[in-house]
Amino acid sequence: MSTIVASRYKLVSPVGRGATGVVWRAYDLLLEREVALKEIALPPGPEAAERRRRVVREARMAARLSHRGIVTVHNLAEEAERLWIVMEFLEALTLHDTLVQAGPLPADLVAAMGRRLLEALRHAHDGGVIHRDIKPANIMLTGDRVVLADFGFAAPEGTASTSMRGTPAFIAPEALHGRGGTREADMWSFGATLYMAVEGRTPFRTVTSMAALVEALREPARAPRRAGPLEPILRGLLRKDPRARLSAERTSAMLADVRCFSAA
């Protein structure tokens, strides 16, 4: 028997797992369209209220962003000790899956993808939202769209945290000290994602513990081997001092130059 959520959404099949919950393919019985439902279980006890607060914040922040490069949020439902974020359904591969299947991508393709992703990120930043978990697994590629997904760690700009938020291989050095709620920290993660896309590896050696991560981030990023004209962009984005890091505006212009160079 099919599961119906909130008397409206018929669950079809799980399609993935985000940082904070399982994502389902579903069908909206009222509007007769496919949707995606992100299922988030509420823990027992006093932690439930905090988890609920974070999920509602995530949904509200994502819902107020209207851009074709950001997954659209339609609704938020609560049922059976679970919260369900209702979003547009995308027939897409993540950038992570694409790299697993196809290997590193050409520099001109990464530049084109990066420009579209950066447009979405700048829209979020202009709306006062910091993503805090930009990585290949949170980027959807479908048709001519590059879509930023999973705002589970997102926060208002300037938010301080006593705990690390994000994925170790893509987290900015300052986020280790609770200063990850900035545009500059997102730009580091964006740079690490572009590096992974064109190089097929992370900028720093693989780490399995917090101590190893701290040690790795003290070292310079591994020299790119395939980046070509992207190399100065990657180096500028992966500067450890956030004040010296490339801005979104400068990065966008440099990515445009890479595309022009590649087409010449």
Residues with catalytic annotation?
133
Q: Is position 38 annotated in a ligand binding site? A: yes
Residue of 58, 213, 78 lying closest to 130 (CA atoms): 58
Integer Cα distance of 71 and 147 in angstroms? 6
Type and span of the H or E element at 90: none
Integer Cα distance of 57 and 60 in angstroms? 5
What string of DSSP letters covers 194-250?
A: HHHHHHSS-SS---SSHHHHHHHTTSPPPPPSS-GGGHHHHHHHT-SSGGGSPPHHH
b/e for 193-226, b at 16 or more Cβ within 10 A? Answer: bbbbbbbebbbbeebeeeeebeebbeeebeebee
Q: What's the length of the chain?
A: 264
Q: Check if the beta carbon of residue 118 is closer than 8 Å to that of residue 249.
A: no
Please report, for residues 7, 200, 202, 212, 226, the alpha-carbon distance to residue 207 in angstroms, rounded to integers and kept in the order given.
44, 16, 10, 6, 22
Ranges assigned E (strand) in the chain: 4-5, 9-17, 22-28, 33-41, 73-79, 82-88, 93-94, 129-130, 139-142, 145-148, 155-156
Q: Check if the beta carbon of residue 185 is closer than 8 Å to that of residue 201.
A: no
Instruction: List residues forming the annotated binding site for ATP.
Output: 38
Instruction: List residues forming the annotated binding site.
Output: 38
